Amino acid sequence: MNYRITHRTTYAYSSQVAMSHHAARLRPRDTDTQRCLEFSLSFDPEPDLLTEHTDSFGNQVACFSVQKLHNHFEVISRSFVSLMPVLQPDPLQTPAWESVAAMFRDPVPVDLLDPCQFVFGSPLLLHEMPLRDFALPSFTKGRPVLAATADLCRRVHREFVFDPKATTISTPLHEVLEKKRGVCQDFAHLAIASLRAMGLPARYISGYLRTHPPAGKPRLQGVDASHAWASCFVPGFGWVDFDPTNNCFTSLDHITVATGRDFSDVSPVRGIITGGGRHSVDVGVDVEPVGA
């Protein structure tokens, strides 16, 4: 499955901005089942400085600065990505969740150091005890880790209402837990924090989701969105991505861009401006299936 993706972020400032710095994680990662074949960034106005580096999670980061007066700024990323079907282990054949949690207690074997960094609290997800109470019903004694995770995913999907008005980027998790409402980012955070509360590693994925037009209707441009989901670690297999918003394991519809501990590690475009008064941001995403 191939996709051509356009991701546009436009800032409008109420007064002139003297300088803006941005850090963007927009380049889709290469994974076992995904290849980013083409990638380009375009800007308006052109930045005076553009550098790239890889962050400690392996994401490509582009840093750019506009060092002259400007009252708007736009960055567009265009990528061409090829996906192969994801092989899922049989959830019932995975190890009991307790044995997985035990592997991540000190001393942690050296080959588990990478997943180990996703077992602790992170900037947006402090290790919160109420999350354990939420997670517990899914983690019955001896249950295979992936089966328990699938159950958790199902419960988030069933018990929580998708409501873009209920939360903002800074709504803390316990509030989401009380309101039982939120968006994909909240649901991913909820699942991740629940897994970590059980002593299991879990990570945050930002990316895109292919939307299927209603039967008989043409695909509309720009209605797609950036999306977020979660990933749990299965020893002997690796990371398994799941989408609590849509209650599924990911496969050919989910395009991975960046992975981290929570949203703060993978924010697609982070910006700091000097001056400028109030600003507004507009984001448009288009995910176009290509070929087959």
Partner 1 sequence: MSRLDGPDTRGHYDELRDASGKVRTHYEPLITDLQRRDSAGVKRLSDTARRLLAERGVTFNIYDDKGMDTPWHMDPVPFVISAREWEGIEKALIQRATLLNAILNDSYGPQQLIRDGSMPAALVLAQPAYLRPCHGIKLPNAKPLQVYGADLARSPDGQWWVISDRTQIPTGSGYALENRLITSRLLPEVFRDARVRRLAGFFRQMQQSLAALAPRPVEEPRVVLLTPGPYNETYFEQAYLARYLGYTLVEGEDLTVRDDRVFLKTLNGLEPVDVILRRVDDDFCDPLELRNDSMLGVPGLVRAVRAGNVSLGNALGSGLVEAPAMMAFLPGLCRKLLGSELLMPSVATWWCGQERPRGEVEKNLDRLVIKSAFRVRGREACFGNRLTGAERAALAERMRFAPDRWAAQEKISFSTAPMWEDGQLVHKPVSVRVYLVATKDGYMVMPGALTRVAATMDSPLVSMQKGGTSKDTWVLSEGPVENITLLSRTSAPVELRRTGHNLGSRVANHLYWLGRYAERAESSARLLRSTLLRCSPESGMSETPLLLPLLEALKRLTVLDDVPDAAALASQQEQLEARLLEAVFDADHPTSIRSCVSHIQRIGVLLRDRISVDTWRVISQLGDALDTYDNTPSITPMSDALNVLTRIILELASFHGLAKENMTRAQGWMFLDMGHRIERTVYICELLRAGLRSADAENPSLLEAILEVGDSTITYRNRYSLLPQIAAVYDLLMLDELNPRGLRFQFERIRQQFEHLPHEKNSALLTPAMRVFLENNTRLQLCDPTELARVEPGTWAQTQVAKLLTQLIEAMPVLNDALTAGYFAHSTISSSDASPAETLST
Among 246, 247, 251, 289, which residue sits at the site for partner 1 (rule: CB under 8 A)?
A: 246
Residue 292 in the binding site for partner 1 (CB under 8 A) = no
Residue 181 in the binding site for partner 1 (CB under 8 A) = no
How many residues at the interface with partner 1, by CB under 8 A?
A: 71
Among 167, 194, 231, 250, which residue sits at the site for partner 1 (rule: CB under 8 A)?
A: 167
Residue 281 in the binding site for partner 1 (CB under 8 A) = yes
Closest distance to partner 1 from the beta carbon of 89 (Å): 25
- Closest to 195 measured CA to CA, from 106, 97, 90: 97
Residue 14 in the binding site for partner 1 (CB under 8 A) = no
State the binding string over 91-130 for partner 1 (x if CB under 8 A, else -). Answer: --------------xxxx-x--x--xx--xx-x---x-x-
Query: Which residues ranging from 186 to 245 are in contact with partner 1 (CB under 8 A)?
Result: 186, 197, 206, 209, 211, 223-228, 245
Residue 248 in the binding site for partner 1 (CB under 8 A) = no
Among 23, 76, 248, 252, which residue sits at the site for partner 1 (rule: CB under 8 A)?
A: 23
Stretch that binds partner 1, among 63-71, 83-91, 145-153, 230-238 (CB under 8 A): 63-71
Residue 176 in the binding site for partner 1 (CB under 8 A) = no
CA separation for the pair 156, 178 (Å, rounded): 13
Closest distance to partner 1 from the beta carbon of 63 (Å): 6
Q: Which amino acid is it at 269?
A: V
